[in-house]
Amino acid sequence: MRGAGFRKTSAPITIAAANTAQTLYIVSAGGTATRTAILRKIWAYSAVGNAVLQIGSGLAAAWAQGIPPMLVINGIENIWEDVDTPDLELGVNFTCQSSVLGIIVQIEVEEIGA
């Protein structure tokens, strides 16, 4: 557990292409001291069929999976709360990819810094 950070959310993004990483959350620069962000919550919704969602960092060839893949079940709200979510901490932007295009993803993070 880490304290004294700030909770912030990404904008809800729609996956534009299957199996192609795209930016999910931009970690704040933090002035003269870099910030990091810890993954706290994940929301996902699909109206286009079940999908496998992955969250990590990097785009294209630099994509790196940060936590295990999650199954997004069609037609219901898929929510992973703090207790379900590994405390993945990154100093770079969070990115995500899905096996199906068209699903909507949003995350909540805790930014650490000053």
What is the contact surface with another protein in residues (CB under 8 A)? 1-4, 30-34, 36, 91, 112-114
Closest by CA to 12, choosing from 24, 20, 1, 4, is: 24
What is the dihedral angle through the alpha carbons of 46, 15, 12, 39, rounded to the nearest 10 degrees?
100
Q: How far apart are CA 40 and CA 89, in angstroms?
A: 10
58 or 113: whose CB is closer to another protein? 113
18 or 111: whose CB is closer to another protein? 111
Minimum CB distance to another protein, residue 34 (Å): 7
3 or 68: whose CB is closer to another protein? 3
Minimum CB distance to another protein, residue 84 (Å): 22
Minimum CB distance to another protein, residue 28 (Å): 10
Q: How far apart are CA 100 and CA 93, in angstroms?
A: 22
34 or 106: whose CB is closer to another protein? 34
Q: How far apart are CA 76 and CA 58, in angstroms?
A: 28
